[in-house]
Amino acid sequence: MNWDDSMPMVSIKDVHKAFGDLEVLKGVSMDIKKGEVVCIIGPSGSGKSTLIRCINALNDIQQGSILVEGQEVNDPHLNKLELRKKVGMVFQQYNLFPHKTALENVMMAPIRVLKQSKAEVEKTARALIKKVRLDGKEDSYPGELSGGQQQRVAIARSLAMNPDVMLFDEVTAALDPETVGEVLLTIKDLAEEGMTCILVTHEMNFAREVADHIYFTDRGVIVEHGSPTTFFDEAKDPRTKEFLSQIL
């Protein structure tokens, strides 16, 4: 591929997506550069989840183009597996595999999908679990962990695939207020290490703190976007202003 670091890591152009008659995305465009942290905010049902699920082809799109490292996602001959090795995703509901321990959850994909050696994977998996501050919980099953702990295992599980981009879909929305902080801290660490992150979030303070760029979506279009300071302090569109006044 003739793609290099200076070009956008993820380039979304005029994406349209409908579920049956329901048009959810009506021409969305955004570019995310390598190492950038982008937050997508917006009211419920505005298509945020749908958009980021299109990036790793969990949803297909009807029109437009999504390039991930120069590779077209909206292509019937797309090798989804290769795409998903590059794009990690963390869900609102953690979705850990309940029949496997935390360590096994992290180790499974690199062994089975990337065919790496078990000993090597175990070493990186233990390091990752330490990195998300869960040392000592390696052998716990998801059912024995708190929501915040499970979510951090889920982040470690995604990182074990060594992705180039991470997608986070409201990863703190299902958590108790006390545990939200620990998960956000983990994501902040990642962002500071230069991981390219696309986050859907309702945590405005967090977005202001870590994001390089903020997109506000409403009813399937991007209403406004900009750096955190311009976005939060100088919002122009009335819809943005109304949303911010409700949430802040």
Partner 1 sequence: MSQSTYNGFNSRKNQQQYKTDLPVMITPEAKVPGSLTSSLSAYIFKPWHGFMLIFFCIVSSSIAFGVDENAKSSIPEVLWRWMPLLLKGFMFNIVISICAMAIGTAIGAVLGLGQISLNKWVRRFSWIITQFFRNSPWLVLLFFAMFLLPFEIKIGGLSIPLPDWVKAIIGLSLPVMANVSEIVRGAVVSLPSGQWEAAESLAYTRRQTLWLVILPQCVKRMLPPWMNLYAILTMATVLASIVGVSEVMTLTGQALAAEGGRTDLLAPFYSFVLLIFFVYCYPIARWTVRLEKKFSVIG
Question: Residues in the site for partner 1, rule: CB under 8 A?
Answer: 44, 56, 58, 80-82, 84-85, 87-89, 91-93, 95-99, 108-109, 112-113, 143, 154, 157-158, 161, 173-174
How many CA atoms does the CB half-sphere of 126 hold within 13 Å?
7
Least distance from C-beta 115 to ligand ATP, angstroms? 32
Least distance from C-beta 189 to ligand ATP, angstroms? 25
Least distance from C-beta 87 to Mg ion, angstroms? 17
Residue found under tokens 């360590």? 103
Which of 38-46, 96-104, 141-149, 240-248 is the region at the interface with ligand ATP (rule: CB under 6 A)? Answer: 38-46
Least distance from C-beta 93 to Mg ion, angstroms? 11
Q: Are 102 and 140 in contact (CB under 8 A)?
A: yes
Q: Are 66 and 11 in contact (CB under 8 A)?
A: yes
The amino acid that residue 118 corresponds to is K
Tokens of 175: 């958590």
What character string, x for contact with Mg ion (CB under 5 A) and - otherwise, covers 39-78? ----------x-----------------------------
Nearer residue to ligand ATP within complex by CB, 63 or 162: 63
The order of strands in the sheet holding 10-19 is 22-32, 10-19, 63-68, 71-72
Q: Which residues pair with 63 in a beta bridge?
A: 16
Question: Quick one: which of 14, 45, 80, 237 contacts ligand ATP (CB under 6 A)?
Answer: 45
Nearest to 33 by CA among 213, 222, 186: 213
